[in-house]
Every structure is written in C-alpha cells, then in structure tokens.
Amino acid sequence: MNRPIRFDLALRVAFLLIFALAVEWPGEPLVTLGSPQTVITNNPKAGVHTRLTDEGAPWKIQRDLQMVREMGAPWIVEFFPWAYIEPNPNSFDWSHTDQVIDHTRAQGLTVVARLGLVPPWARPDPLEKETTFNYLDLDHYADFGDFVYAFVDRYKDRVDHIIIWNEPNLSFEWGMRPVDAQAYVDLLKVAYRRAKEANPNIIVLAGALAPTLEPIGSPAGLNDLIYLQQMYDAGAKDYFDALAAHAYGILAPMAEPPDPNRVNFRRIELLRDIMLRNGDGAKDVYITEAGWNDSARWNQAVKPQQRIEYTLQALDWIKDKAWIKLLALWAFNYPQATRTFSDNWTFVNDDLRPKPIYDEVRKQLTTTNDK
C-alpha cells in the first residue's frame, strides 16, 4: 500500500515544480527594436557575413547585430533562402526575414541579401538523391525570378543590394552537377530583369565566386578566373551592377601577391583584371566572404595570432582600393557550434562571448586619431 501513496506524492511534487517553473521562469529576454543606432567606424568598407538564417531566438539575432555594430562594421551579408520564404508556390513566410532586416536597420547596418536555395516544389522528384537543394533547372528560372521580384519589392525601402546565388563555379553549389557559366548567366538575366522591375535602384551582385584552381572538366568545379571570363562570354556584362567574390587567404599571408596558380587573399585582383579586360572597370567588387581559419585541427589553417594580423592587414589594405566597396569577413557567428574546424572562422562563440579576433578588429575599426 505504501508504493501507490509515494507515487501519488511524487506526482504532486513534480506538478508543483512544473507549475513553479512555468510561473517564475523568465524565458527569453523581451526584444524590442529600440531607438535607431549608428555605427561608429573608421572604415566604411568593413563588414561581416552573419549566419542568422537558422537562428530562431530573437534576442540572439538582436545581440549578434548589436555586437557587429559595436565592433565597428557597418555592413553585413546575410543569406535569405528561397526555400524557407516560399515553401509552397506563391505562399510566402516573411516573418524571420522581416525580423533580421528590421534588427539590422535598427542597428544602423547595411544588409547585402544573398538569395538562393531551392524549395522542394521547384526541384526534381524528391525521392532522387543525385542533386542538392542548390539545383535549379531552366523550367523553374521564372519561379526564382518571381521570388526575386517579391523579395526586392517587399524590402525596396530597406534592402539596396542582393546577390544572385552563391559560388556557382562549385559543383555542390550548382546542385551537384557540372558547373555551367552559360546556365548561370541565363539565371542571372531572369533575376536581374525581375529585380529591376521591382526596384530600378536595386544593386544586383553577380558571381559570389569561390576561389579555386579546379581545371575545366573537374567534377568539383571550375577555376574562378576561367569561370568569370566565361560569364562575360555568355553575355553577363549587362545583367549585373557589381561583382561579388570570395577572398580566402588559406595559408598565405595577406600581403602575398596574387598568383593565378595559387589561392590567396589578393587573388581578388586577378578577378578585377578580368573585369578591366572586358571593359567593366566602372563596376565595384564586393568581397562577400573572406578570411583565415585558425583551427589547430585543420591543415589549411593559420595560427590564431596570424589570423588576427592578416585580418587587420586586409581591412587596412582595402581602404584605398576605390574598386572595392565591401570586405565582409566570414563568419561572425553560427546559431550553434559545429564542433569542427568550421568554428574557427567565427568572431564570437555560439554563447556570444567575443573571441580575441573580435576584440582586435573592434579596436582597429573604432579607434580614432582625434586628439
């Protein structure tokens, strides 16, 4: 007879504990946009690539962006996936996107919106396993164009820059199929026309090319220098306003000169040379991903102090480059730690504790020479 009584008592205690927690647990902090903020910086070209796409906590979105502002970076690049926003044809969920963009503007930051990732309804048979969510065939280019129109139209008073796709010169980013500059340019043309219909003043960035030495015919991708020339050969020139490109240093110091046979930070200058040869020198280059990794577990990483030194040098180097509009460092933070070398790209930990590189970049970007 004692066992049922004890069991009943245990249930009552558990209920009281649950009730107490429900009443007194504060939950997430109350989040309001607050008064508009201004970024204090000595480098108006500095930025970071945030990763708020899968961050569900509003307070963390706000705090991430506050920390970007406090670091002195006036720009962010953020990914807004088509698959998340239009999960069904002509059915849009803007809630998370609104939240990120509103908090970005409240912090005084300028957002460059990267658009891509294909919803299931615009992909091949969902049972097939050969492609990825970056696969988009010609039959659905118009659907992507409609999404671009809807995005640009909704945010035409808040977003001035969009990137069409990401690293299309890599097979994985092109749907796990051979890369195809002509097909990308065809997509770019559709997206460009639709974006301009929604907002003639929108700045459309093309490319976001990955630095790679892959030769023609490689299953992994294609050399970014070759791919960019192929884009021009396919008629891209009149369908983008600026070039997005990625500039990873890998093991090379920031000051190492560009070399067509090596991936380093200043490889970006070789892309610029191709633009000039194609009569496109009036357009800016936006470096939408860049940086060095300092993981002790990856053979393509530098030491933490080297990462800091090279990053500070890169931010200083872009200042007098009239053709570079932005240097967005990868990556400010992830919603959750990956427990891999990828965590060593970030500037803060997933619990929002700043890393040494954050502190050093903040010192450089916010220090003034005023006496």
291 in any annotated domain: yes
282 in any annotated domain: yes
Contact between residue 367 and residue 72 where contact means Cβ atoms under 8 Å apart: no
Contact between residue 67 and residue 108 where contact means Cβ atoms under 8 Å apart: no
106 in any annotated domain: yes
pLDDT for res 100: 98
pLDDT tens digit sequence for 5-53? 444 444 443 443 444 344 433 456 678 888 999 999 999 999 999 999 9
304 in any annotated domain: yes
pTM: 0.91
68 in any annotated domain: yes
Q: Is the preceding peptide bond at 142 cis, omega within 30 degrees of 0?
A: no
Number of domains composing the chain: 1
pLDDT tens digit sequence for 250-304? 999 999 999 999 999 999 999 999 999 999 999 999 999 999 999 999 999 999 9
Return the amino acid letter for 334.
Answer: Y
76 in any annotated domain: yes
Provide the CATH number for the domain around residue 170: 3.20.20.80
Residue span of the structural domain in which 187 resides: 2-366
Cα→Cα distances 282→75, 162, 206, 320, 324, Å: 22, 19, 15, 16, 11
371 in any annotated domain: no
pLDDT for res 130: 87
pLDDT tens digit sequence for 52-99? 999 999 999 999 999 999 999 999 999 999 999 999 999 999 999 999
